Amino acid sequence: MTIREYDFAYGRGRKKFTLNDDKVLKEVRTKDFTPLEDIKASVLDAIYHPIGMPAVNEVVRPGQTIAFICNDPTRVANSYDFMPILVNEMNKLGIKDEDMHIVFALGTHRDMSYEEMVMAVGSEVAGRLKMYNSTSTIQDDFEYFGDTSRKTPVWINKHLCHVDHVFLTGTIVHHYFSGYGGGRKAVLPGCAAMETVRCNHSWMLDANAGLGKTVGNPVYEDQMEGVALFAKGRSLILFNAILNAKHQFLRIFAGDYIAAHKEACKFVDEVYGVVIPQLADVVIVSCGGYPKDINVYQMQKTMDNARCAVREGGVVILLAECEEGSGSKVLEETCKRLGSCDAIEKELEANFVIGANKAYAVTRLMKTVKYILVSSLDKQLAKDMLFAGVTDTVEEALAIAEKEVGKDYRVILMPEGSLTVPRVE
């Protein structure tokens, strides 16, 4: 019997633990692709050989204006790597610094500080371009573009509405109810008003909303319809990267925001989708460290991915530091007040509230599987959110899990849990 040591990312550090080899069914990792060696060359190649539209120099003309949508700190995007290249290339095409600006796609997340903006895009770009938070609760910052067929009012940040071109930058991973990230999500929900996001996200309760689904997914289709209303008569240019677990660039997709995103999603399935031999009794999963485990709000996406690898009645042991706690007072209050997934779902059906939707997303998974946290999260708060326990070590968590699944349990390991999506063939 061989005992092996494992070392998983946890917050800004690591957590080590040991397991007998005969316990481990599989260690799930992203597919091994060679990272891009020359980022600048890859960025330029993507925009001069785009998917579904002419080369950037045939689209962008001297004297025009540009808005770049960039990710907030909850999404790893490496914007500081590509933004200087994009901005400098726009200069070469005749666009002045003062005719470009950046809008940070916060969705319903908190505002970024100026320091965080500088960290996101790099000091060079931050010193040259104006930067704005898209704060969903400041209604005067948004302009109206009509309603979707699902009655979502489309309010988009005004800093995107009066420019010649909007660059939708960011990265793409699977998303637990809107199919995939990236693409149209930079605009909606990224730069949409709270009521727009609330109405769109209410469709997450629909059985057809799910991870990796686009066709028939009401959330995805509503987002696409909403962005199409905004995009009418406008130039939207996609610039999405796919990263590996080490945050290295694997491939860059640019071009038409619909066509290029579809191609990118095929690659996302290839990189992040992983076949497993069977569903495990226990899954030990890390979000991949900071910022993926900055709070429960972000950690929840890893919970969904891990659920794909565990049998009903099994246990997920989740390594997530949660240095910012739950990430949402509404999430906390909803769980504490209602106390069960069924009660949360019933209230959301009557009145869908952002934050409360995350309470549903977290607790719905616990109907069939127990989640034990290895975390700094407050123990009472974790209990309020229906987690089966909070420990300091994986070993302690395994001792709790053993009471649920017995001593002959088999394990699947997910060190890159925010990215990898397991499936049994």
Nearest to 151 by CA among 198, 104, 96: 198
Nearest to 252 by CA among 241, 267, 260: 241
DSSP for residue 23: G
Alpha-carbon distance of 83 to 49, in angstroms, equals 18
Omega of the bond leading into 291 within 30 degrees of 0 (cis): yes
Q: Where in the chain is the domain with CATH 3.90.226.30?
A: 3-30+277-424
Q: Where in the chain is the domain with CATH 3.40.50.11440?
A: 39-271
Nearest to 117 by CA among 77, 158, 156: 77
Quick one: tokens of 165? 């071109």
End-to-end alpha carbon distance in the chain: 29
Longest dimension (CA), the chain: 69
Helix 296-307 with 356-363: angle, nearest 10 deg: 30
The CATH architecture that domain 39-271 belongs to is: 3-Layer(aba) Sandwich (3.40)
Q: Residue 34 contacts by C-beta under 8 Å, 6 or more apart in sequence? A: none
Counting every residue written for the chain, the total comes to 425
Alpha-carbon distance of 357 to 354, in angstroms, equals 6
Strand order in the sheet with 310-319: 24-27, 411-414, 280-286, 310-319, 370-374, 389-391
| pLDDT given for residue 76 in this prediction | 84
Alpha-carbon distance of 48 to 30, in angstroms, equals 29
Nearest to 121 by CA among 100, 142, 137, 136: 100
Q: Residue 6 contacts by C-beta under 8 Å, 6 or more apart in sequence? A: 16, 17, 18, 19, 284, 413, 415
- pTM, to two decimals: 0.91
DSSP for residue 50: -
Q: Are 375 and 296 in contact (CB under 8 A)?
A: no
Alpha-carbon distance of 375 to 292, in angstroms, equals 13
Residues of the chain with pLDDT under 70: none
| pLDDT given for residue 425 in this prediction | 86
| pLDDT given for residue 249 in this prediction | 97
Q: Are 360 and 205 in contact (CB under 8 A)?
A: yes
In this structure, which CATH number among 3.40.190.10, 3.30.540.10, 3.40.50.1820, 3.90.226.30 belongs to the domain 3-30+277-424?
Answer: 3.90.226.30
Quick one: tokens of 296? 């429960």
Quick one: tokens of 419? 């990215």
